[in-house]
Each structure stands twice: as C-alpha cells, then as structure tokens.
Structure 1
C-alpha cells in the first residue's frame, strides 16, 4: 500500500515501479476509476485482465474466470499485480471484502495475486476498518511533503536530469518556493515550470526570489 497527500507523487512512483517490471513476466491490470461495489470491482479487474465478457457474468463466474486467468499466468511464469489507484475513493464495504477474498487466491507455495493500493492518506483509516484485509497488507509506504533541504535537492535533480549543469534558481528563490508549496512536489513543479518559461522569454540569467514572489502574487490574484 502506498499512501500520501495529493500532489506528493504517489501515482508517478507506482507507475515508475511498474515500468521497471519485465512485461513478459507480469500481468498488471491498472484500475484508476472508482467502482460502485464489490461486483463492479471484480468485473473491472476481469476487464483489465483482457476478458471482455465481464459484463455478462455473475459474481461467482467472474471470480472463477479471474482465478483461471491468474492461474494460467502463474503457470506461464507470470505474476499478476492488480494496481488500484485513487483507492481512497473506494467506500463500499463489499469492495474491501472482495479484495480480501482475492488475496486468498494462492497455491501451496505462491500467491496468485499481488494487490497494490495507491491513494491519499484517508486510505489508511479505510483499511484499518477492515481487519481481515489490513492484516494481509505486507508492505506499506507513506509519502510526505519534501523538507526544506529536500525541495532544494529536488529542484537541482530535475534540472540536472533535464541537462542543466549550472544553477537556474537562486537559493532564496527555492527557499520561497518551498515556503509557498509546503514541499508538495506537484506544486513545486508547477511554479518552477512557469518560472522557467518566463525566464526563457525574458532571457533571464537566473530566477531569483523577486520573480518567484511575483508568480506567487499572480497565482493568488488568479485564485480570487
């Protein structure tokens, strides 16, 4: 389970992790839209596994079909990883019950399904309300906003990755960016992107705190 506040990079990290997996050895149904209930959840998994007959099956036949697919995948040396993004939006009790039952699909020496839940912080409390599922979650990660030092390192890393060797943002500018964004990476990205566009258009040698302050004030004006 991977949790964290909005904008901290949960989806990006989850997708980056999945891209590192060998597609010839993994089946990855990705669910990014909230489901109404447990049966809807199962049908969506079956659909994401490539079976278009999901809408024509009742719950029992849907479960049997999922079992057949993941068992066949295991026999071929593949691991099935079900990724549920925006999982904090799942509220129906029956969905959590189906998650728990899916994790019971196993052989004597292997689990047939790995479940990766990705969502905002309320997901943690939602899972705690379902002890049977909570006890089956083996690994948990929580993303937090970046620290002051982390924001500086993050901005430097993004610029270096883009091929920039010399600093672009003055130290006081990044200080102000951290203060304004509270270390939320998506907000950092947004203000830095705008600053770089303006810096390029005005042929600035660097972005100082004065320019960042102007952008912050403009953003506040647009929001009122």
Structure 2
C-alpha cells in the first residue's frame, strides 16, 4: 500500500523475510562462521540458540541456500509429535519418496549419498520442542558415521531453554557429541540502525526515511529483536503514509506503540526524552 508513496520496490519489513534479505550483524556473522567451521571440521552436532525473532530460522535457510556441491541439506521446521514421527520428518526434509517402509527408504537414501561421497546436514528448527526420546533417536542416527566417512551432521536451532534441556543427565551421550554452540543476541542500537538501513536499501530506498530519534524509539521498544523491529517499522511506514509524511519521526513511532502494542504513553515528549536518555547511557555518547 505505501510502497509507491515511498518509492519502494516492495515492502522493506515483511512478516517473513527471505534468506536473501538476511542482515548479518557481527554476532550473526560469528554464528554463521562457527557453523561453517563445524561443517568443514566434521562436527556431528551443532547448536544455535536465540530468543524468539532473533533470526535463527533465517540463518538456517541461508545455510540451505549456500549448500556446497558435496552437501545435501534437509530442514525440519515443526519437530512436534503432532506433525508425525522422526522418520516421516526425515523423508520430507530430504525430499525422499515415501513408501510403506520408511526405514528402508531412509537407509537406501543414506547408501546412495555415501556412494556419491555426499554429506547430509539435517537442520531442525524449533528444536527446544524435541523430547528426550526424539533427541536420543537423533543421536542414534549419527551411528551411520564412521572413521572413514562422515555421512550425517545435525544443526539444532532453538530457544535458550534448548541448552538446559540437552544438559540433562539422561542425555549425556548426546551432550558429548555436541561440537559447538552459539547464542544469537538481540541487535545493539547501532546494529538496529544498520538493520533498518539494510532493509530499506534492499527495496530501492535511497533517502533517510526514519529519523535518528525514531530509530532510538524502535530500538527501545523492540529490544533489538529483528522480528519486532520489522513489525514496528512496517506499522510506522503505514501510519506515515496515512498522514502523507515522507519521513517517520519519533511521534509516529510512539503513536504506533501506543495503538498496536498496548503501551500507555500519556505524554509523548516526556516519553521521547526518557528514551533518548536511556540510549545515551547505553552508547555513552551525546545524540
């Protein structure tokens, strides 16, 4: 709706971003580098955690898009018992034709991959939902690996509680096979500003749309979570368009926050001053 008004090619802050719009903050780049190192170092299990909306799934999709020629990547997005059993997930993740004997279909697929010298990477999103039984089943899948050839690697993506869950004594055998872990942190204020600029440039914007103070408020209320940043920015652009404003100021952000997120803001000027003071304290600079 607002794209022609701001001269965007498409929405800069959609609900679901494609992996080609991934913004690599220093922490995201570190996580990606560690995972890529784990893949080349024959790591069996790797773990990437982060709060809801920090970009774990997007990073997993990015890895899938960058699969090397000697790698086959499959991804399970909903590892919950209601969506079926592990073997059914595996067949779906790697596009293996389902048969009356899924175990045989999986074993045949593994043999085929081994004969071609290919390594499988299984990415499991929302892995904090996995039960002890399923986690143990995943560990047993790794028994296909041997000293001569690594066939299967697993990347678990999940919320922070995944780390505590796997640390249980009952999962000691699985815990010992974890090669690396990384936790994605929310974006800092400076990286929030870079994130917003990155998404605007991706849709053809060449002008400053969000004022500095507006970005401060977006960071303050989103807590640096990319998904929340997207939601706030999208609504801010809609509100600015409705008022025929070509820039988003802090008043617009506060209006959106109050209307869409249920915050009670009695005095916008006082609220804006409080936000600016907190950001100044974080950055130790004068804005």
Q: TM-score, normalised by structure 2?
A: 0.68
2:117 aligns with one of 65, 68, 77: 77
Say if 2:75 is the partner of 1:30: yes
Match of 1:16 among 53, 62, 86: 62
The residue number in structure 2 matching 1:136 is 177
Runs of 4+ aligned residues of structure 1 deviating over 4 Å after TM superposition are none
CA contact (8 A) 1:3 1:119 kept: yes
Q: Tell me, in whole angstroms, the C-alpha distance in 2 between the residues paired with 1:112 and 1:68.
A: 13
Deviation at 1:222, TM superposition (A): 9.4
Aligned to 1:52: 98
Contact map agreement 2:54 2:184 (CA 8 A) in 1: yes
Given that 1:30 and 1:48 are in contact with CA atoms closer than 8 Å, whether structure 2 keeps it comes out as: yes
Q: Does 1:189 align with 2:264?
A: no
Question: For 1:111-163, what per-residue CA distance to the aligned partner results, in whole angstroms no more than 9, with x for missing partners?
Answer: 11111111111111111121211221212221111112221121122112222
Q: 1-side partners of 2:81 and 2:211: how far apart? A: 49
CA distance in 1, matches of 2:86, 2:191: 38
Cα 1:101/1:163, change in 2 over 3 Å? same
* 1:51 Cα offset (Å): 3.4
* Contact residue 118 and residue 151 of structure 2 kept, 8 A: no
2:254 to 198, 207, 213: 213
Q: What is the rounded CA distance, in whole Å, between the counterparts of 1:47 and 1:219 in structure 2? A: 38
Alpha-carbon distance between aligned partners in 1 of 2:215 and 2:92, rounded to the nearest angstrom: 45
Aligned match of 1:2: 48
Distance in 2, Cα, partners of 1:35 & 1:189:
27
Alignment of 1:143-162 (within 5 A): 143-162=184-203
Deviations 1:58-117 (A, max 9, x none): xxx82x6433312311221322111111111112x2211111111221133321111111
Q: Is the 8 A contact 2:74 2:122 kept in 1?
A: yes
Match for 2:156 among 107, 117, 126?
117
For the residues of structure 1 that align with 2:214 and 2:120, how far apart are their CA atoms?
Answer: 45
The CA distance in 1 between the partners of 2:225 and 2:133, in whole Å, is 33
For residue 31 of structure 1, report the CA deviation from its aligned partner.
1.3
Matched residue, 2:141: 102
Asked if 1:86 is matched to 2:126, the reply is: yes
Question: Which range moves more in the overlay, 199-208 or 97-106?
Answer: 199-208
Separation in structure 2 between the aligned mates of residue 186 and residue 162 of structure 1, nearest angstrom: 18
Q: Does 1:170 align with 2:241?
A: no
In structure 1, list runs of 5 or more residues that go unmatched. none
Alpha-carbon shift at residue 47 of structure 1 (Å)? 4.1
* TM-score w.r.t. length of structure 1: 0.86
